[in-house]
Amino acid sequence: AQKITQTQPGMFVQEKEAVTLDCTYDTSDPSYGLFWYKQPSSGEMIFLIYQGSYDQQNATEGRYSLNFQKARKSANLVISASQLGDSAMYFCAMREGGTGANNLFFGTGTRLTVIP
């Protein structure tokens, strides 16, 4: 079974609007972390936001927020007030077993296009 599933190959959003990128995960480990990364055409993976499995509140970082629904095993990324520079690939990733291991499982990504 896929550990991380991103069902949206591509998404379009109007500039200044909000957009939600979906991510579901599968793990039996009670301790895990969920990440979102942005990958522009240059190739660098840019860290956006992190959610730990024991965190009580949804993570937020500026215009990025993570809608964490533990029972449903979903960790959707919400980008508010989209900007043209947000156009990129977005990857959801998971790490199991606390902060000791740095083995991330990545989803297949969602290509976001922001329309002026």
Partner 1 sequence: KAGVTQTPRYLIKTRGQQVTLSCSPISGHRSVSWYQQTPGQGLQFLFEYFSETQRNKGNFPGRFSGRQFSNSRSEMNVSTLELGDSALYLCASSLLGQSTGELFFGEGSRLTVL
Which residues contribute to the site for partner 1 (CB under 8 A)? 33, 35, 37, 42-47, 50, 52, 91, 93, 95, 99-109
Least separation in angstroms between CB 18 and partner 1: 24
Residue 44 gets which letter from DSSP? P
Question: Strands 110-115 and 10-14: what pairing?
Answer: parallel
When the beta carbons of 12 and 54 are compared against partner 1, the nearer one is 54
Residue among 67, 70, 69, 64 nearest 49 (CA): 64
* d(C-alpha 13, C-alpha 9), whole Å: 14
Least separation in angstroms between CB 116 and partner 1: 27
When the beta carbons of 20 and 108 are compared against partner 1, the nearer one is 108
* d(C-alpha 116, C-alpha 109), whole Å: 22
Least separation in angstroms between CB 15 and partner 1: 26
